[in-house]
Amino acid sequence: MSESYEFVVVANRLPVDEVVADDGGRTWARSPGGLVSALQPIVRRQGGAWVGWTGQPGEAPEPFDADGMHLHPVALSAQDVERYYEGQSNSTIWPLFHDAVEQPAHRRPWRHAYDAVNRRFAEAAAQLAAPGGTVWVHDYQLMLVPAMLRDLRPDLQIGFFLHIPFPPVELFMQLPRRAELLRGLLGADLVGFQRPLAAQNFLQLTARLLGLEPQDEHVEHEGRTVVARAFPISIDVGEVEELATDPEVQAEARRMRAELGGDRRLLLGVDRLDYTKGIEQRLEAYGELLADGTVSNDDVVLVQVATPSRMRVQEYQELRARVEREVGRINGEFGAVGQAPVHYLFQSMNRAELVALYLAADVMVITPLRDGMNLVAKEYVVARGDDRGALVLSEFAGAAAELETAFLVNPHDVEDLKRVITEALHADDGEQAGRMRPMRTQVQQNDIDKWARDFLETLDSTGSTKPD
Ligand code: ADP
Ligand code: G6P
């Protein structure tokens, strides 16, 4: 029998992404998104196997070891990518679970591909996990995996964590074959969510759809107890602090500020280019503040980093076009030679550059219409060990429940956005420190290691599923 692992993580993506150059050469880069930012340090420290996709269609590379992790690639054909990843995962489930801020699309072939690919992931995990081992399945792309895996390997402890919001019952009910998805999740011993409300939505759904009888945080299903609970995800505090106190990163922050115009206050946005992130609302508010003279191009500049994401999905292409048109309009109307009011970067960055930007920013503007957590918010407050800076944060980001002293805002209301951004720009040193300090302490005391420990210890104590 091939090597087996006590601890196996299963996620759509591996922590590294295969990058294919124009000349056909292949290299690896860090995968995008918060899931990888959060999980990578845990698996690296604890060891174990990671089952996931490389980000490229076609045959999977051979399994390999990197950074103390055993990486086990799962193959997705071009058709799987189109139907399972771009289709069912990112054009049906993603928008529906984010309050349907874009219209979810429903296609039968996508659902079949989703089933087939979930089965492939479940089979890979079943092969790799040691007898009685722990398998931790992640996110909306793989909601059928827990039940499939339990069928294959009833000896395992199975955890599932959803990184995105879980919708209210009425919205979930719109999904074709909704009961199958729910049964898929119920294959886990422990189902984790970002927010208590999400866990409640899930438990209510088990009653509504399957006639189960949830009690407190539990529900009995097929003779087992399934626990549903919130575990708000966090960041690798040590990594961000190390970068933020690195003299080279600090020098880079000073250089950035000087280049952007030493006296101008710096507003910063950092998001995957996704319609859930409220980038358009942010630009609209900023454009209006410039237009009505509340701020001017001489005293304020906005840096918007937009990480390329899911660029073959139509809604993302359309969003990119709209955002870039609006950036062009604002710069055209309010810019001057050599001085633009918006610096727009459509690119990935390395961690040091990103932290340098956090250090340079006077106001971090995070305005998602809906977001499971938002790790950028937590990274920003931890980076600001100097107690300076201000965080404008959407009430609709999971992070708002923990970062209570942020400048909270309703991003659906442009007037509110304008008011709160202005307030944040005017906060004096005392107010900045008074707000930043408790937020930083909150994240320091609840870092990613604590999150993983809480989840895995709860999973361990759930363990009612082991056969006699
Ligand atoms: P999501 O998971 O929806 O993308 P999060 O804010 O939770 O949103 O996580 C995003 C993660 O990606 C953070 O760890 C952030 O530092 C990282 N990130 C965001 N933009 C970039 C970028 N342009 N280059 C590199 N990393 C980025
Ligand atoms: C969010 C999702 C992750 C996903 C990431 C990047 O954080 O919760 O599951 O990996 O976005 O998106 P992508 O489609 O590029 O994997």
Q: How confident is the model at residue 468 (pLDDT cuts 50, 70, 90)?
A: very low
Q: Which is nearest to 80 in space by CA: 50, 121, 27, 39?
A: 121
CATH class, domain 237-445, is: alpha beta
Output the pLDDT for position 463: 65
Question: Angle, to 10 degrees, between the axis of helix 145-152 and the axis of helix 108-128?
Answer: 40
DSSP, res 287: H
Q: Looking at residue 467, what is its pLDDT? A: 40
Q: What is the pLDDT of residues 7-36, one digit of tens each?
A: 999 999 999 998 888 888 888 999 999 999
237-445 has the same fold as 5-233+449-462: yes
The contacts found for 307-310 with CB under 8 angstroms, 24 or more apart, are 307/32, 307/270, 307/271, 307/272, 307/273, 307/347, 307/348, 308/32, 308/273, 308/346, 308/347, 308/348, 309/32, 309/33, 309/272, 309/273, 309/274, 310/86, 310/90, 310/274
The pLDDT tens digits for 393-435 are 999 999 999 999 999 999 999 999 999 999 999 999 999 999 9
Q: What is the pLDDT of residue 19?
A: 87
* Domain segments of the chain as ranges: 5-233+449-462, 237-445
> Whose Cα sits closest to atom 16 in ligand 1?
376
Q: Judge whether 163 counts as a catalytic residue.
A: yes
* CATH (residue range 5-233+449-462): 3.40.50.2000
Bridging pattern class, strands 300-307 and 224-230: unpaired
* CA of 34 relative to ligand 1 center, distance in Å: 5
pLDDT tens-digit profile of 69-124? Answer: 999 999 999 999 999 999 999 999 999 999 999 999 999 999 999 999 999 999 99
Q: Which residues line ligand 1 (CB under 6 A)?
A: 33-34, 37, 270, 272, 305, 307, 348-349, 354, 373-376, 379
| Closest listed ligand to the CA of 53 | 2
* pLDDT tens figures, 438-464: 999 999 999 999 999 999 999 999 965
pLDDT in tens, 278-330: 999 999 999 999 999 999 999 999 999 999 999 999 999 999 999 999 999 99
Instruction: Give the list of residues 6+ apart from residue 356 with CB closer than 8 angstroms, or none.
Output: 249, 250, 252, 253, 256
Cβ 407 vs Cβ 423: under 8 Å = yes
For ligand 1, atom 12, name the residue with the nearest CA. 33
Ligand 2: list residues with CB < 6 Å.
12-13, 32-35, 139, 163-164, 309-310
Tell me how many degrees the CA angle 19-22-26 measures, rounded to the nearest 5: 35
Tell me: pLDDT of 335 over 90: yes
Q: How far is the CA of 32 from the centre of ligand 2 (A)?
A: 7
Count how many residues are written for the chain: 468
3-state SS, residue 203: helix
User: Which ligand lies nearest the alpha carbon of 54?
Assistant: 2
Cα end-to-end span (Å), the chain: 24
Amino acid 2: pLDDT = 76
C-alpha closest to that of 403 among 428, 431, 379, 370: 379
